[in-house]
Amino acid sequence: MSSQNGGETLLRVEGVRKYFPIKKGILIQREVARVHAVDGVSLEVKAGETIGLVGESGCGKSTLGRCIVRLHELTDGSISFEGRDISRLSRRELQPMRRQMQMVFQDPYASLNPRKRVGTIIADPLRIHGMGDRSEVRRRVSELLELVGLSPEHINRYPHEFSGGQRQRIGVARALALHPKLIIADEPVSALDVSIQAQVINLLDDLQDDLHLTYVFIAHDLGVVRHVSDRIAVMYLGKIVEISPAEELYQRPIHPYTEALLSAVPIPDPELSARRERIVLEGDVPSPITPPSGCRFHPRCRYATEICAQEEPPLVPHGGKGHMAACHHPLDANPTPTADASPGPADG
Partner 1 sequence: MAEVAALEHVEPASPGGPEVAGRSPWALAGRRLLRNRFAIGGLILLLVIIAISFAAPLYADHVAHTNPFENNLNGHTIVNGKRVALMQQGGGILHLGETPLGPTWDVHHYFLGADQNGRDVASRVLYGGRSSLEVGIGSALICCIIATVLALLAGFNGGLIDVVLSRLMDVIWAFPVILLAICVATVLLNAPDGVGVGPVRITATSLWLPTLIIAFIYLPYVYRPVRGQVLSVSEKEFVEAAIAQGASGSRLLFSEVLPNVITVVIVLFPLMIATTILTEATLSFLSIGVQPPNASWGTVISDGQQLLYTRPWVAIAPGILIVLTVLALNLLGDGVRDALDPRARLRIEG
Q: Given the rule CB under 8 A, which residues bind partner 1?
A: 26-27, 66, 69, 71, 94-95, 98-99, 102-103, 105-107, 109-118, 124-125, 128-129, 151-164, 171, 174, 178
Residue pair 348/315 in contact (Cβ under 8 Å)? The answer is: yes
CA distance 328 to 348: 15
CA distance 247 to 3: 12
The count of residues in the chain is 348
State which residue, 149 or 164, has the beta carbon closest to partner 1: 164
State which residue, 71 or 267, has the beta carbon closest to partner 1: 71
DSSP 285: P
State which residue, 112 or 222, has the beta carbon closest to partner 1: 112
State which residue, 178 or 279, has the beta carbon closest to partner 1: 178
- Please report how close the Cβ of residue 228 comes to partner 1 at its closest, in angstroms: 21
State which residue, 193 or 347, has the beta carbon closest to partner 1: 193
Which residue, among 21, 98, 88, 19, has the nearest Cα to 60 in the 3D structure? 19
CA distance 74 to 54: 21
- Please report how close the Cβ of residue 189 comes to partner 1 at its closest, in angstroms: 15
- Please report how close the Cβ of residue 103 comes to partner 1 at its closest, in angstroms: 5
State which residue, 111 or 244, has the beta carbon closest to partner 1: 111
Q: How many CB atoms lie within 10 A of CB 269?
A: 10
| Element spanning 210, H or E | helix 194-211
- Please report how close the Cβ of residue 79 comes to partner 1 at its closest, in angstroms: 14
- Please report how close the Cβ of residue 213 comes to partner 1 at its closest, in angstroms: 16
Non-local CB neighbours of 345 within 8 Å, separated by 6+ positions:
44, 46, 231, 243, 322
CA distance 165 to 108: 8
- Please report how close the Cβ of residue 250 comes to partner 1 at its closest, in angstroms: 31
